């Protein structure tokens, strides 16, 4: 999977994507991340990438030409088949379903907005999909793009163990059950006896119950959409 990131602050990506699992995925050639500085496509002598909004108002707007020229130059004819994502707090909210959809493509282009936004003609010309990573405002789209790269890369075959993928939150539609490891007692707090029992069927049942109760308490919206068995419903009632 190849990610092409368009930004005026490529330095932001230096840290988070070059450690641990994503570092290994890049070394193994499963994922590649290419950073492109939009300023390289500015045409005036100040290398401007933003200007005042038509109609007035506060702040500056990112200009369309440098971004469109950058994406067209880097993607070339592949632009036709490549999803172009524009990171903005006014986008559709990113989630695991969208991540699974994006992970089907061999290449993604991500455009990071800054200032008060991006000239809307960029979205129209590049047929970009606007995504937000949540209902809060970042100083720019770079961290949002890094989040999307992280989430989508995990789904690329070979990047992580398929068993971990199947077990985790949001794959099943439920939040994860609580986990414990050594020591067996810490600051007077023990580990639930069931986990030390060696009874795998009862452990699985306990974990399911924990996942259901946690989801009900923290994210009832997820529970309403989850696929529940009759046994799940009994566990929730019990």
Q: How many residues bind ligand ADE (CB under 6 A)?
A: 13
**CB 30, CB 159: distance < 8 Å:** yes
Distance CA 52, CA 58 (A): 8
Applying CB under 6 A, which part among 72-80, 130-138, 184-192, 199-207 lies near ligand ADE? 130-138
Q: Which of 109, 141, 151, 155 binds ligand ADE (CB under 6 A)?
A: 141
136 CB neighbour count, 10 Å cutoff: 7
- Minimum CB separation of residue 9 from ligand ADE in Å reads 12
Residues in the chain: 238
- State the nearest-atom distance from the C-beta of 84 to ligand ADE, in Å: 14
Rg of the chain over CA atoms, in angstroms? Answer: 22
CA nearest to 4, candidates 126, 101, 138: 126
Q: Choose which of 71, 89, 155, 212 interacts with ligand ADE (CB under 6 A).
A: 89
By CB under 6 A, is residue 61 in contact with ligand ADE?
Answer: no
Dist. CA 26–CA 86, nearest whole Å: 23
Which position among 144, 149, 159, 174 is part of the footprint of ligand ADE (CB under 6 A)? 144
Please report, in range form, the residues annotated as the binding site for S-adenosyl-L-methionine: 113, 133-138
């Amino acid at each position: 999977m190849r990610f092409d990131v368009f930004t005026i602050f490529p330095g932001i990506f230096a840290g988070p994507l070059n450690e641990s699992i994503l570092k290994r995925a890049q070394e193994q050639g499963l994922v590649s991340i290419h950073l492109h500085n939009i300023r390289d496509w500015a045409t005036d002598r100040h290398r401007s990438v933003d200007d005042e909004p038509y109609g007035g108002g506060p702040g500056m707007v990112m200009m369309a030409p440098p971004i469109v020229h950058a994406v067209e130059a880097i993607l070339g004819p592949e632009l036709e088949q490549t999803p172009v994502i524009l990171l903005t707090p006014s986008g559709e909210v990113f989630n695991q379903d969208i991540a699974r959809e994006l992970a089907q493509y061999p290449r993604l282009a991500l455009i990071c907005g800054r200032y008060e936004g991006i000239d809307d003609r960029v979205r129209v010309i590049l047929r970009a999909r606007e995504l937000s990573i949540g209902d809060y405002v970042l100083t720019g789209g770079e961290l949002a793009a890094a989040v999307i790269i992280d989430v989508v890369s995990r789904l690329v075959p070979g990047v992580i163990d398929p068993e971990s993928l199947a077990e985790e939150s949001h794959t099943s539609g439920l939040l994860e059950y609580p986990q414990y490891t050594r020591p067996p007692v810490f600051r007077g707090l023990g580990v639930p006896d069931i986990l030390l029992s060696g009874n795998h069927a009862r452990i699985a049942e306990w974990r399911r119950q924990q996942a259901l109760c946690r989801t009900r308490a923290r994210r009832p919206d997820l529970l309403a959409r989850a696929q529940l068995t009759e046994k799940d419903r009994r566990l929730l009632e019990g």
